[in-house]
């Protein structure tokens, strides 16, 4: 039996959440923006009225106001968006127990077998969309397909308030003319690499051999080939973002590292990846673990407790502290990894921050504003377009990891 998979993606989620508690923002151009009292703030999410004036994510407030002088802005309140997100997931879980949350504002639902409740998948989607609108005051777009990849692609085709079906049979007609960069799972760097090989749209990707793609991209090459042909066997795995117990990344270096500076560069990259992963889930962790594998394959793991955080700078500093404390400064390092765990509820987060001194809190706020800004810029321009100064190639060394 063919599966029926929905991807429910909330439209302009942050600003729509704000509008539920500030109804005066409705039907007027408005946006959630970082630090609205300063000129450095950028747009995190604009509503559709603002988008009609050309306001986009990652614009500076000045650019946004040039497009739309009447734009109203609200500072971000991520705790509130997480609570609204839980309300959304609770409502969706009434339609199917197989719910896999993909980020704070979207989830897959396996609706296979619920046909007897509705005339058609489109009718079921319309009911979900309507219920989210009337009960929670939020808008969504829903993609419907026989697999997760195509459901996600379908949800992107019409926003806001779209309901789009994209079955495996429609792939050639609906997807092959789109640029490869619009494919779910293809980041800025992969798109550039593909484009350099003359592979510009999804149809080009489907036409090249799987072996070639695997040669160039490893396991990802296999997924690229299958997805371009609309094939995806991944099951919907019931999971809420709140179930995730840890976020971790590791890098195996192309040559053994013995210089502190080079290892710190790797730690910065890892801290940035782990921080981004945790922020996407809306989670803050209290335990950071550093993993080091030496060139003789001996493994060292060391942990420490930190205040609940998902800020790149906090993770980086903790990892450097652990490295300096436990590494003898000479033994060649082959692999480094960072993981963040022991995520907790908001109450505990607040209790702990009561004991933080003012200066420290200001530091936390500043680094989370930087992370928010970088995340928004990456969302707009691709993951490779901004990075920390520490990660830029050293002009004196051609020491590319």
Q: Which residue is catalytic, options 18, 106, 156, 372?
A: 106
Interface characters, 58-97, with Mg ion (x: CB under 5 A): ----------------------------------------
Under the binding rule (CB under 5 A), the answer on residue 105 touching Mg ion is: yes
Under the binding rule (CB under 5 A), the answer on residue 9 touching Mg ion is: yes
- Report the residue number, 183 or 213, with the smaller CB distance to Mg ion: 183
106 as an active site residue: the answer is yes
Q: Kindly report the number of other CB atoms within 10 A of residue 237's CB atom.
A: 11
Q: In the chain, how long is the greatest CA-to-CA distance?
A: 68
In the complex, residue closest to Mg ion by CB: 106
The DSSP secondary-structure symbol of 179 reads: B
Query: Interacting stretch for Mg ion, rule CB under 5 A, among 9-17, 91-99, 201-209, 350-358?
Result: 9-17
The DSSP secondary-structure symbol of 393 reads: P
Under the binding rule (CB under 5 A), the answer on residue 106 touching Mg ion is: yes
Total binding residues toward Mg ion, as defined by CB under 5 A: 3
Strand order from edge to edge, sheet including 30-33: 43-46, 30-33, 72-74
CB of 107 to Mg ion, least distance (A): 10
Q: Kindly report the number of other CB atoms within 10 A of residue 240's CB atom.
A: 16
Interacting residues with Mg ion between 361 and 400 (CB under 5 A): none
Under the binding rule (CB under 5 A), the answer on residue 100 touching Mg ion is: no
Q: Exposed/middle/buried for 248, CB within 10 Å: 0-12, 13-18, 19+?
A: middle
CB of 106 to Mg ion, least distance (A): 4
Query: Interacting stretch for Mg ion, rule CB under 5 A, among 5-13, 225-233, 241-249, 330-338?
Result: 5-13
CB-based contacts of 184, cutoff 8 Å, min separation 6: 149, 152, 153, 156, 227
Containing 224, the helix (H) or strand (E) segment is: helix 219-228
Instruction: List, by residue number, the catalytic residues.
Output: 106
Residues that bind Mg ion (CB under 5 A): 9, 105-106
């Amino acid at each position: 039996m063919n599966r029926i998979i929905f991807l429910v993606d909330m439209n302009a989620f942050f600003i729509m959440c704000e509008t539920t508690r500030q109804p005066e923002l409705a039907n007027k151009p408005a946006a959630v923006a970082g630090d609205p009292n300063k000129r450095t703030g950028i747009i995190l999410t604009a509503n559709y009225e603002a988008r009609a004036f050309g306001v986009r994510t990652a614009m500076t407030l000045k650019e946004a106001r040039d497009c739309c002088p009447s734009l109203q802005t609200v500072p971000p309140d991520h705790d509130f968006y997480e609570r609204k997100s839980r309300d959304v997931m609770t409502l969706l879980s009434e339609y199917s127990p197989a719910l896999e949350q993909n980020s704070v504002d979207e989830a897959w639902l396996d609706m296979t077998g619920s046909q007897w409740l509705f005339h058609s998948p489109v009718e079921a989607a319309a009911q979900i969309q309507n219920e989210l609108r009337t009960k929670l005051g939020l808008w969504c777009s829903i993609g419907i397909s026989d697999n997760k990849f195509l459901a996600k692609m379908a949800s992107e085709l019409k926003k806001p308030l779209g309901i789009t079906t994209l079955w495996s049979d429609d792939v050639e007609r609906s997807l092959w003319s789109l640029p490869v960069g619009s494919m779910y799972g293809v980041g800025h760097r992969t798109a550039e690499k593909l484009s350099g090989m003359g592979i510009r749209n999804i149809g080009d990707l489907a036409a090249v051999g799987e072996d070639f793609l695997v040669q160039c991209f490893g396991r990802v090459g296999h997924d690229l080939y299958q997805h371009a042909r609309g094939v995806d066997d991944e099951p919907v795995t019931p999971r809420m973002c709140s179930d995730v117990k840890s976020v971790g990344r590791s890098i195996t270096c192309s040559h053994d590292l013995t210089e502190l500076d080079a290892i710190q560069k790797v730690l910065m990259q890892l801290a940035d990846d782990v921080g981004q992963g945790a922020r996407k889930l809306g989670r803050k962790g209290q335990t950071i673990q550093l993993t080091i594998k030496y060139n003789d394959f001996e493994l060292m793991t060391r942990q420490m407790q930190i205040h609940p955080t998902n800020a790149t700078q906090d993770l980086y500093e903790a990892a450097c502290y652990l490295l300096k404390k436990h590494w003898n400064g000479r033994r060649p390092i082959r692999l480094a990894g960072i993981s963040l765990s022991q995520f907790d509820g908001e109450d505990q987060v607040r209790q702990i921050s009561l004991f933080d001194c003012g200066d420290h809190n200001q530091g936390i706020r500043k680094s989370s504003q930087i992370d928010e800004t970088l995340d928004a810029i990456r969302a707009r321009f691709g993951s490779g377009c901004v990075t920390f100064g520490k990660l830029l190639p050293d002009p004196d060394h051609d020491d590319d990891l």
